[in-house]
Structure 1
Amino acid sequence: MPNKITKEALTFDDVSLIPRKSSVLPSEVSLKTQLTKNISLNIPFLSSAMDTVTESQMAIAIAKEGGIGIIHKNMSIEAQRKEIEKVKTYKFQKTINTNGDTNEQKPEIFTAKQHLEKSDAYKNAEHKEDFPNACKDLNNKLRVGAAVSIDIDTIERVEELVKAHVDILVIDSAHGHSTRIIELIKKIKTKYPNLDLIAGNIVTKEAALDLISVGADCLKVGIGPGSICTTRIVAGVGVPQITAICDVYEACNNTNICIIADGGIRFSGDVVKAIAAGADSVMIGNLFAGTKESPSEEIIYNGKKFKSYVGMGSISAMKRGSKSRYFQLENNEPKKLVPEGIEGMVPYSGKLKDILTQLKGGLMSGMGYLGAATISDLKINSKFVKISHSSLKESHPHDVFSIT
């Protein structure tokens, strides 16, 4: 009888990175990365195409910081087009707070109202700052992506999104290594050969090679690692995320095809590990769902503020339009839907900018330990050790009462 256990597979908590001799300071590293051969990001972060994570407000906020948001598809074609247009027509407010002769910032040029200090008037204008790190297209507009899937109206949806000047499309499926997904990529690429496509989700080298062969510009990796995903227990399918990234990287190495690690990111250290395993960027849902900019509902529970976070494989999300992502488009009766996700809530976490500050800071610190001045260096020069359960316990705070 053949051995059906092909190999051991690992995820974020199973490994740790080995530090290297370094002359690189965290403050000196570059977080710029490629999303595709045509599109670069100034930070390696995408917000996920989930209806409790990314609409125009989130997409604008993350693009201003240097990343990109993917507008979910659980809405009408016209509504999704309008969300794209809101991002593409966003206008930066510039601060007029300089001396015309010297170009120096001058608080005194503001006229303070009664009972308002000049310094306060000056501070009130500071929110109109420029965003030099913003992710913009060649026309100086913020970049934004949109998700599509296998629906009856997919080609019509793509046409409208292209008219709205979407920068990139995500062919969004729970199983990207599907003949239907492959045929859809062929159709879109035939009609729009210059439109960049992200395809996924996948976890194997074979899937990567097949999607690359039909024109995918970027691959999204992850089946089952998300905090609200139940695919691995409902369907029994998935590959732990570090191994999945490594396997897909085997297919993409020495090509111009980029990788997004999608799902399972809980700490900034997981971002470092995902990129070290071969990803060019990471897609985040859970950590962004609690932010001010997410479109999800605010909930007060036991006197504390939360925001709803709903898996796209949950019953409620499938009713709203994500059935096709799980190949259940023909199921019109809710009782016949088989969910691969749950509904939950996450603590309210404030502004996206503050969450990104912590994630970027952890990534920069990790790059310093590894002597990696760039994202590419981090991918190429990193080595892991497999750790034990005891090592994982040792990795987290222990033997103290935490006061923070």
Structure 2
Amino acid sequence: MSNEIEIGRGKRATKAYSLDDVAIVPNRRTRDPKDVSVSWQIDAFQFDTPILGAPMDSVTSPATAIALGKLGGLGVLNLEGLWTRYENPEAVLAEIAGLKSESATRNDPKITAKLQELYSAPIQPELISSRIAEIRDSGVVVAGSLTPQRTQEHYKTVIAAGVDIFVIRGTTVSAEHVSKTTEPLNLKQFIYELDVPVIVGGAAGYTPAMHLMRTGAAGVLVGFGGGASSTTRRTLGIHAPMATAIADVAAARRDYIEESGGRYVHVIADGGMGNSGDIVKAIAMGADAVMLGTALARAEEAPGAGYHWGMEAVHEASPRGDRAKIGTVGSLEKVLHGPSHETNGTSNLVGALRRSMATTGYSTLKEFQRVDVVLSPYESDRF
């Protein structure tokens, strides 16, 4: 069955759905939330919650990576960000939070220019080592992220510093990058030679995800990251409605299990999940875990101090993101585990997932991926 529709006589398109377009529905059984497990394991690493902190300077610092780890999740440090460019990045973070916008919209060229200037400072390999060591000394799992463009340059430093999980994250990451001017990163060879699990992405469809799985990746990121701060859709015309993207990549995971003789690759939804309902639906569509930006940037401890931006916003030639004001809702513990006093799904994210699973009768995340869903485009719920 094809869900293609005709745009015009010369072009057809596949219909795709966002997380706002779908809803989960209860079945015949319910459970006590205390009997529900939201634990997640990738490779040898076990986590109490399927939550990853996005490698964005407004979300994850060494301190918040440690705090998130102790609360059951995994913080991924951006190894190309302010923490590896400045010995004392707190002053730079305060400067970014203090920038006054002269625009009525998020798009303020002066703020973008300042971000580009601040991120033009060189990456210092010794800071990569010291930041990873700081997280490792706390006893939590250590994860760090590089873009494909920087991986060849810095991965040896990252591995030598003792990272547990290596993340290669970009707007779009492919298993086959073609270039006439530079030697591209051979993902399959690179992953084969590493002794740590690698998570790679973004991918937004069946075929690119299948190719990434064949490289030996332990996990594939679905989406283009950035979330509330990204303008990739406006600047490049690239967008992945997440419900369809997750379901397509989950199908690739299913088929790859058969192709590989049982090897399981984790599907991690990345971007566009600003509240607990989005997280619930991402898991329901087939994700094993979620990588959160905006949702965790609202924590009082978040280094963005109520503001949120990603690496897309600081690209020297083609910035694709804004510094977005999102405010705060409470401590990181409250954001993850409550108690909540908000009715908009911005706190007690894990508790909401647990309750939704209990309401629909599922006791594990893998079981919950089989929950019934319906198309339910309640756009009015946004207001």
TM-score of Structure 1 vs Structure 2, range by shorter chain: 0.7 to 0.9
Counterpart in the other structure of 1:183: 185
Separation in 2, partners of 1:143, 1:180: 30
Q: Post-superposition shift, 1:251?
A: 0.6
Separation in 2, partners of 1:53, 1:224: 13
Q: Post-superposition shift, 1:224?
A: 6.3
Separation in 1, partners of 2:55, 2:226: 16
3-state SS of paired residue (2:156): helix
Q: Rg: which structure is higher?
A: 1
Q: Does the 8 Å CA contact 1:224/1:230 hold for their aligned counterparts?
A: no
Separation in 2, partners of 1:216, 1:3: 38
Change (3 A) 1:210 1:382: same
- Residue by residue over 1:255-285, the C-alpha shift from the partner in whole angstroms, topping out at 9 and shown as x without a partner, is 4100110111122111110001010011111
5 Å-filtered alignment, 1:194-213, equals 194-213=195-214
Counterpart in the other structure of 2:19: 12
| Matched AA of 1:347 | G
Structure 1 residues 236-245 or 246-255, which shifts more? 246-255
5 Å-filtered alignment, 1:4-403, equals 4-34=11-41, 36-73=42-79, 74=81, 75=84, 76-90=124-138, 141-151=139-149, 154-177=151-174, 179-180=176-177, 183-192=185-194, 194-223=195-224, 226-253=227-254, 254=257, 255-296=263-304, 298=305, 307-314=306-313, 317-318=314-315, 334=316, 337-357=317-337, 358-379=348-369, 381-388=370-377, 391-393=378-380
Separation in 1, partners of 2:48, 2:74: 9
- Residue by residue over 1:10-48, the C-alpha shift from the partner in whole angstroms, topping out at 9 and shown as x without a partner, is 1111111111112411121001113x3333321010000
Separation in 2, partners of 1:54, 1:24: 34
Between Structure 1 and Structure 2, how many residues are aligned? 312
Q: Does the 8 Å CA contact 2:53/2:292 hold for their aligned counterparts?
A: yes
Separation in 1, partners of 2:10, 2:220: 30
Separation in 2, partners of 1:201, 1:396: 26
Q: Post-superposition shift, 1:178?
A: 5.5
Change (3 A) 1:270 1:234: same
Separation in 1, partners of 2:158, 2:318: 30
3-state SS of paired residue (1:313): helix
3-state SS of paired residue (1:180): coil
Q: Which structure 2 segments of 5+ residues have no match?
A: 1-7, 85-123, 179-183, 258-262, 338-347
3-state SS of paired residue (1:227): helix
Counterpart in the other structure of 1:325: none
Separation in 2, partners of 1:191, 1:40: 23
Q: TM-score, normalised by structure 2?
A: 0.76
Q: Does the 8 Å CA contact 2:226/2:309 hold for their aligned counterparts?
A: no
Change (3 A) 1:293 1:80: farther
| Matched AA of 1:240 | P
Counterpart in the other structure of 2:345: none
Counterpart in the other structure of 1:134: none
Percent identical pairs in the alignment equals: 29
Q: Post-superposition shift, 1:81?
A: 2.1
3-state SS of paired residue (2:273): coil
Q: Post-superposition shift, 1:151?
A: 3.6
Separation in 2, partners of 1:387, 1:23: 22
Q: Does the 8 Å CA contact 2:357/2:368 hold for their aligned counterparts?
A: yes
3-state SS of paired residue (2:23): strand
Q: Does the 8 Å CA contact 2:294/2:308 hold for their aligned counterparts?
A: yes
3-state SS of paired residue (1:19): coil
Q: Which structure 1 segments of 5+ residues have no match?
A: 91-140, 299-306, 319-333, 398-404
RMSD between superposed Cα atoms in Å = 2.1
Separation in 1, partners of 2:266, 2:225: 21
| Matched AA of 1:52 | S
Change (3 A) 1:9 1:199: same
Separation in 2, partners of 1:46, 1:224: 12
